[in-house]
Structure 1
Amino acid sequence: MKYVKPLRLLGDALKTKVSVPGRFLGLDVGDKYVGLAVSDPSNMIASPLSVLLRKKTNIDLMATDFQNLVKSFSVSGLVVGYPFGKLNNVEDVVTVNLFIEELRKTEKLKDVKYTYWDERLSSKFKRRQCWTSLPL
């Protein structure tokens, strides 16, 4: 796996010489679970896909699952939610960093690019968006 900046990941996906650019696989890494979402073919909207149980003993199985998802959805990169900023818990940062490092060590995704996406305030934004979209 190779880290790239968010705009480069999108640019690389758009430069591919195929009729439809690759999709992105989103990862929401937690202590016990990893939430997965996949983008639509135009990379405008991500939809929930599944949730994987996270244990130290199953990182190899998870890497295999990611390999299969990369193939079946033509994934061009991973977008990993990252708790940037001082307001977030340091444990959350360590959790994400350790997971990505463990995933890299499996070497099953060595040709896959990934980037981090700032997930600060994403829950607040979702709640506000939900409330503002309700009819009065």
Structure 2
Amino acid sequence: MKSFKVQHLDAMMATCPVGDRLLGIDHGTKTLGLALSDPAHNVATPLKTISRGKFEADVKALEAVIRDYGVKGLIIGWPLEMSGREGPRTQSVKDYMAMLAPRLNLWWAVWDERMSSDSAHTLMAGDMNLSFAKREKAVDALAAQFILQSALDFMAVNRI
């Protein structure tokens, strides 16, 4: 795998203007949870969960979302270990972005995703109107929402 430079959110903020929609991604081995920002970068909304297949299928699905919603930037969850160190899952995201970033002409950055899936599971635990399978599928989009909303909150406080 070729070398890949991780972009953190503070670097992206200088180039991604308010008015451009952002897509939050919770990268998993079986799914990609997606969330969408409003153009003002105030609110993140869960969008959908994509079942992962071959990489080309992932790219086509993401390209459709990017086109349909006018997305200009990606915030992808950065799965640090609880200690704050990078681990095997972090390397998986690096490898995925090394293949994905050149294919998409977008701003992008990583954002700490620790506890996002746990928060989504906690939120969904009380929803008895959904089957277990539907809850599990919704969790990934909710985790993407937590990741993106946290990044949007950081951007709101730190925007120049």
TM-score by length of 2: 0.61
Match of 1:24 in 2: 22
Match of 1:53 in 2: 51
Equivalent AA in structure 2 for residue 120 of structure 1: R
Match of 1:76 in 2: 72
Match of 2:116 in 1: 122
Match of 2:87 in 1: 90
Taking only aligned residues, the RMSD between alpha carbons, in angstroms, comes to 2.9
Which whole-Å CA distance do the structure 1 matches of 2:23 and 2:59 have between them?
A: 13
Equivalent AA in structure 1 for residue 9 of structure 2: P
Query: How many pairs were matched up?
Result: 119
The answer to whether the 8 Å contact 1:30/1:95 transfers is no
CA spacing shift, 1:75–1:10, aligned 2, 3 Å: farther
Q: State the SS of the aligned residue for 1:84.
A: coil
Which has the higher relative contact order, 1 or 2, with Cα contacts under 8 A spaced 6 or more apart? 2
Which whole-Å CA distance do the structure 2 matches of 1:127 and 1:108 have between them?
A: 32
TM-score by length of 1: 0.70
Identity of counterpart residues, as a percentage? 27
Structure 1 unaligned segments of length 5 or more: list them.
15-19, 131-136
Q: Which structure features the higher share of strand residues?
A: 1
Q: Which structure features the higher share of helix residues?
A: 2
CA spacing shift, 1:5–1:97, aligned 2, 3 Å: closer
